[in-house]
Amino acid sequence: MKLLIIIGLAAVWCDAAQWQDRRFPDDFRFGAATAAYQIEGGWNADDKGESIWDRLTHTNPDFIADRSNGDVAADTYSNYRTDVQMMRELGLDAYRFSIAWSRILPNGISSKVSDAGIAFYNNYINEMVKYNITPMVTLYHWDLPQKLQDLGGFMNPNFHEWFEDYARVAYENFGDRVKHWITFNEPREICYEGYGSDTKAPVINATDIGTYYCAKNLLIAHAKAYHAYVKDFKPKQGGVCGITISVNWVGPLTDSEDDRLAAEIKRQAEWGLYAEPIFSEYGGFPAELCNIVAWKSAEQGYRRSRMPEFTDEERTLVRGSSDFFGVNHYSGTLVSATHYKETHPVPSLLDDAGVGVYNPPEWPQSASSWLRLSPNSLYYALTHLDTKYNKPIIYVTENGWSESPEDGYYIDNGRVEYFRAKLNDALDALEAGVDLRGYMAWSLMDNFEWNQGYLERFGLFEVDFKSEYKERRPRKSAFVYKHIIETRVVDPYYEPDSLTMWIDDGHYFQSAYYNNQYSSGPFSVSYN
């Protein structure tokens, strides 16, 4: 175990020592990412419909650690021009954001399209395009219209029809400018946390079948939306369509055969369940996990496996249905076949996997319990995907580090250290031949961080959620990231002289940091 950790750290130090010779390609896309419910606010503006997160936070506020919600959040619905100025000041090549399904289809289905919702996203996209910032649009980032959830949501076998219709509305209205589409963000979090557990909306907690049936219906919906784009929109619009899957690295605790197999089973349960049907040669759910679930289902008295099968037609439909692999990556973990096992609901996905998880205490800890700085984890994840799925085009669509509001808003050295480590991982992957096309930092600004509300902050820009206009101020990490984008180099010694960002109209974003000295104020921020 210690040997694996030491080797990882040595690689990071070696990379840092050779930083002058390592450069990102000129056509590599640097960007940042956000999600609609987490930043937009305007939860009931104009004719927007209710989402599952609106319903959850309003009816069960104790579900959120600080009893907050996304009703207003960073109010991007009113402040989108400010957000684009932030992107512009950072020098972003691209910006990944999501569309709120119920903002453009208030009832969830395509019989009613909201003119106000379409206008908002048109204005947002046009503002990006005006400054040559490539919009990357995620169609679904966890905010299902509540009216569709009332009909079963992802457990309804007709879900793919609703999603394809919604995707077509988006392609029709925005596809002349949007050339990068992502169908779903993080299927694991949608299916396991929302349907197979009780940690995310809609909190179905059907531990036995929720994850697996959601997974199949999601994958079919993804494939339908993908083929709709390829057949009816791509010939004229010329874009690409893919999916984003959370791929945190999972390695064996020891070099034993049992631990190597345990790590593979854990990878299948975490992300292979969604990647294998799309990106593998044969399609369908991963074989080893399928066999385990079938065997356990029989032992538990089920008449059939709790994991549904794909028909031959469905398998063919899903296989190959992505132009790129979007990777959300944050951390890594070590897995054992025999040690560190926890008790999970029986039956459930985690009980089916049946492995133990270990996070070395020396790995730096973020403000989020699940996020540590795991050495070389992004490199391991990217090279594994490259080998396993025959060199797919890859975008890192999320990667970031959380800090608490008490950790010093502006001098976020932990986040700076994290970004430098992971961008060195990305350079290592490029040098290893991985077809990595871009990197999106999470997140452009502080946001509503789901169950943790506003207690965990991921933003390059701090948001003053108590201020009338939700003022934004850059952190040190914003300047470090800006420097990396400008130079295409990860300079381990770069320190900004001040934390002030000017924009063209004479206003400026200013932080409490001048000439390497921390100050408590005053602050001046305005752009509305």
Closest by CA position to 396, among listed 374, 367, 429, 363: 429
Could you state, in order of their start, the residue ranges of all structural domains in the chain? 2-485
- pLDDT tens digits for range 454-509: 999 999 999 999 999 999 999 999 999 999 999 999 999 999 987 787 665 555 66
Residue 405 has a pLDDT of: 83
Judging by beta carbons within 10 Å of its beta carbon (0-12, 13-18, 19+), is residue 183 exposed, middle or buried? Answer: buried
Residue 526 has a pLDDT of: 39
- pLDDT tens digits for range 186-199: 999 999 999 999 99
Query: At the top level of CATH, which class does the domain 2-485 belong to?
Result: alpha beta
pTM score, whole prediction: 0.94
* 8-state DSSP, 452: G
Radius of gyration of the chain (CA): 22
Catalytic residue among 186, 276, 403, 462: 186
User: What's the token pair of residue 131?
Assistant: 């400054």
DSSP string, 154-178: GGSTTHHHHHHHHHHHHHHHHTTT-
Q: Which residue shows structure tokens 């000017």? A: 502
User: What's the token pair of residue 6?
Assistant: 């030491």
Catalytic residue among 40, 164, 276, 398: 398
User: What's the token pair of residue 181?
Assistant: 């589409």
Q: What are phi and psi of 403, to 5 degrees?
A: -135, 155
CA dihedral 516, 20, 95, 177 (to 10 degrees): 140
Q: What stretches of 340-402 show up as alpha helix (H) in DSSP?
A: 349-353, 377-388
Closest by CA position to 138, among listed 46, 65, 245, 266: 245
H helix and E strand count, the chain? 20, 16
Judging by beta carbons within 10 Å of its beta carbon (0-12, 13-18, 19+), is residue 25 exposed, middle or buried? Answer: exposed
16 vs 482: which has the higher pLDDT: 482
- Catalytic (active site) residue 398: yes
Contact (Cβ atoms closer than 8 angstroms) between residue 385 and residue 394: yes
Q: What stretches of 201-286 show up as alpha helix (H) in DSSP?
A: 210-232, 234-237, 257-267, 273-279
- Catalytic (active site) residue 186: yes
Q: Is a pLDDT exceeding 50 seen at residue 14?
A: no
